Amino acid sequence: MYPSAKITIPWNLSLGDQTAVGDGAILYALGPIRVGERVTISQHAHLCAGSHDYTDAAMRLTKLPICIGDDAWICADAFVGPGIVVGKRAIVAARGVVVKDVLEGTIVGGNPAHLIKQRPPLA
């Protein structure tokens, strides 16, 4: 864990063994953020487990969980929004904006993130 990483409400954050959180990463844990084992969250990535209900005139706060599967990689400057599941071994490319779940073993990127390709199987 880089000391420059920012964690909001740390008791809502669970990090698995051998997980790395990079320089300047933001873990905005208004809702629960569960990160699996051997995950890399690269520099300046942003995991945002909070938003507002735009259908409500009062714009009430929502606190939807984020779950990052084992062996996933959230690359530099990527954004993962509330309520998202990033599957095992998935990769979110640099500056990707994830607003829908990412399937296991896939590589996504862009804004909004879209499928780039499947990650090759382990040797």
Domains and CATH numbers, the chain: 6-118 (2.160.10.10)
In this prediction the pTM is 0.95
Amino acid identity, position 11: W
Beta-carbon count within 10 A of 111 CB: 11
Query: Per-residue b/e over 64-98, b at no fewer than 16 CB within 10 Å?
Result: ebbbbbbbbbbbbbbbbbbbbbbbbbbbbbebbbb
pLDDT tens track for 26-83: 999 999 999 999 999 999 999 999 999 999 999 999 999 999 999 999 999 999 999 9
What is the rounded distance in angstroms from the CA atom of residue 90 to the CA atom of residue 88? Answer: 5
What pLDDT does 29 receive?
98
